């Protein structure tokens, strides 16, 4: 099970997966050239949602399919410092697709 963590610091927002920096996946799609954000709906949170899902699923197409819903249901509601597990992500995506 993977663990994703994010936080805001003086030098900006950081996001890790199992302690390593999370790839923003600009190669897949660039919603926000500035990188990751959260706590609202927009391009920075959309970039984070896509990157988390691409890493979680290991499937770029599936990540893009669920990106918007995951951004709205999860990323937009994260606090300044947060942690999500693979189980949290699976549950959120499952609830979002069954709604």
Banded pLDDT at 18 (limits 50, 70, 90): very high
Distances (CA, A) of 67 to 11, 19, 57: 27, 23, 11
pTM for this entry: 0.93
The pLDDT, as a whole number, for residue 96 is 73
pLDDT bucket at 47, cuts 50 / 70 / 90: very high
58 sits in the region (left: phi over 0; alpha: psi -120 to 50; else beta) called left
In the numeric block, which tokens belong to residue 69?
A: 């819903």
* All structural domains of the chain with their residue ranges: 3-98
pLDDT reading at 99 higher than 50 = no
Inform me whether the pLDDT recorded for 43 exceeds 50: yes
Residues in Cβ contact with 87 at an 8 Å cutoff, skipping those fewer than 6 apart: 1
Rounded (10°) angle between helices 60-73 and 43-57: 130
Interval 28-51 mean pLDDT: 96
Is residue 76's pLDDT more than 80? yes
């Amino acid at each position: 099970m993977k663990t994703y963590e994010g936080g805001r610091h003086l030098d900006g927002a950081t996001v890790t997966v199992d302690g390593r920096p999370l790839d923003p996946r600009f190669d897949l799609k660039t919603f926000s050239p500035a990188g990751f954000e959260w706590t609202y709906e927009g391009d920075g949170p959309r970039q984070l949602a896509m990157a988390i899902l691409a890493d979680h699923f290991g499937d770029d197409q599936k990540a893009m399919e669920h990106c918007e819903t995951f951004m709205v249901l999860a990323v937009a509601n994260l606090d300044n410092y947060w942690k999500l597990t693979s189980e949290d992500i699976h549950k959120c995506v499952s609830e979002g697709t069954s709604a």
